[in-house]
């Protein structure tokens, strides 16, 4: 009888302690949740919006906007294949943001030229930089989804340094230097719409680049544009890479492909 009464008295105490422990656990979980939410929103901005619209072998573009401060120009960072490439402010025109009523001005787009990449598939991601703790902490928020793209031409770098400055109805112009032998002119080849057009030596004077290459100014190339049908055409210039262990030379893409637009006969008639 005494044993039963003692057991009966102990049971309520045990139940009470169990409820206390459960309540404490619930409070701890809620407290941890509140701390986590506060930490998350201090490190990541819930008002940040953006998208990676396009990624390809020529360029990568999209937009980034802070809805809580549409006057701000957000810093964005480009990563390709998981490696940092470049950082810049999202201040490139993106008219759709005004059309959709998201911002009073359109200077919230970003535009990166795609860096030289090896032939094959690549993965592009763009992150917005969010500063918190008075600028002491910087976190990255991915904009939109990850995009993959293909490159079909080996880059000029690291063997060559160069650029295609312009392509129009008259000519295709640029420059290129062999990093291993800056004083030796480089053979270059012009391709339009993936078809070989002409080869020549890049030895045209470029006085504007003389100081950059230790007094060597004969690094330019000029191709006269061939006759083409009206419409758009893709222009590529390649540096020819000769190797001792190769039976045939390889082509390395200089800069990026350019689009050459020729007016149609209708547009020529309508031009003032």
Per-residue pLDDT tens digits for 61-71: 999 999 989 99
Amino acid 270: pLDDT: 37
Amino acid 245: pLDDT: 66
Amino acid 237: pLDDT: 96
Amino acid 155: pLDDT: 87
CA torsion through residues 98, 102, 108, 114, sign: negative
Amino acid 196: pLDDT: 93
Amino acid 267: pLDDT: 42
Rounded mean pLDDT, 82-109:
92
| Preceding omega of 158 cis (within 30 degrees of 0) | yes
Rounded Cα distance, 72 and 129, in Å: 12
Distances from the Cα of 119 to the Cαs of 58, 146, 151, 221, 251, in angstroms? 13, 19, 5, 25, 12
Find out whether 118 and 155 touch, Cβ atoms under 8 Å: yes
Helices in 44-120 by DSSP H: which ranges?
Answer: 96-99
Rounded Cα distance, 255 and 200, in Å: 17
The residues that bridge with 162 in the sheet, in sequence order, are 176
The residues that bridge with 225 in the sheet, in sequence order, are none
Of residues 109, 120, 56, 115, the one with CA closest to residue 83: 115
Neighbours of 114 (CB within 10 A): 20
Per-residue pLDDT tens for 102-124?
A: 899 999 999 988 877 778 899 99
Rounded Cα distance, 8 and 188, in Å: 97
DSSP 135: T
Rounded mean pLDDT, 206-225:
91
| CB-count exposure of residue 144 (10 Å: 0-12, 13-18, 19+) | middle
Neighbours of 253 (CB within 10 A): 25
R_g of the chain, CA atoms, integer Å: 30
Find out whether 129 and 74 touch, Cβ atoms under 8 Å: yes
Amino acid 6: pLDDT: 55
Per-residue pLDDT tens for 128-165?
A: 998 876 667 788 999 999 999 988 788 888 899 999 99
Per-residue pLDDT tens for 10-60?
A: 666 667 677 677 777 777 676 665 554 444 444 457 889 999 999 988 789
79 contacts: CB under 8 Å, gap ≥ 6:
85, 124, 125, 126, 127
Rounded Cα distance, 59 and 192, in Å: 19
Amino acid 269: pLDDT: 40
Per-residue pLDDT tens for 174-198?
A: 999 999 998 899 999 999 998 899 9
Rounded Cα distance, 254 and 156, in Å: 5
Amino acid 134: pLDDT: 67
Assign 253 to helix, strand or coil.
strand
DSSP 207: G
pTM > 0.85:
no
Show the domains of the chain with their CATH numbers: 48-151 (2.60.40), 160-265 (2.60.40.10)
């Amino acid at each position: 009888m005494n044993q039963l009464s003692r057991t009966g008295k102990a049971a309520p105490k045990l139940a009470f302690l169990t409820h206390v422990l459960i309540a404490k656990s619930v409070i701890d979980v809620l407290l941890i949740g509140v701390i986590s939410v506060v930490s998350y929103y201090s490190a990541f901005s819930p008002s940040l919006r953006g998208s990676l619209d396009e990624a390809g072998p020529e360029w990568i573009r999209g937009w980034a906007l802070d809805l809580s401060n549409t006057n701000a120009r957000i810093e964005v960072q480009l990563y390709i294949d998981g490696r940092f490439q470049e950082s810049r402010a999202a201040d490139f025109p993106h008219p759709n943001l005004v059309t959709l009523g998201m911002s009073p001005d359109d200077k919230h787009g970003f535009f990166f030229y795609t860096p030289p990449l090896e032939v094959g598939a690549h993965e592009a991601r763009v992150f917005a930089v969010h500063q918190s703790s008075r600028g002491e902490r910087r976190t990255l928020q991915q904009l939109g989804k990850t995009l993959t793209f293909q490159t079909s031409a080996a880059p000029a770098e690291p063997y060559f340094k160069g650029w295609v400055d312009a392509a129009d109805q008259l000519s295709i112009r640029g420059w290129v230097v062999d990093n291993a032998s800056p004083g030796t002119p480089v053979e270059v080849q012009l391709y339009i719409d993936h078809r070989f057009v002409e080869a020549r030596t890049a030895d045209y004077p470029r006085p504007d680049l003389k100081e950059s290459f230790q007094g060597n100014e004969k690094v330019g190339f000029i191709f006269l544009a061939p006759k083409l049908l009206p419409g758009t055409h893709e222009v590529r210039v390649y540096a020819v890479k000769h190797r001792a262990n190769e039976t045939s030379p390889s082509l390395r893409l200089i800069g990026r492909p350019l689009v050459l637009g020729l007016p149609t006969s209708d547009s020529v008639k309508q031009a003032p």
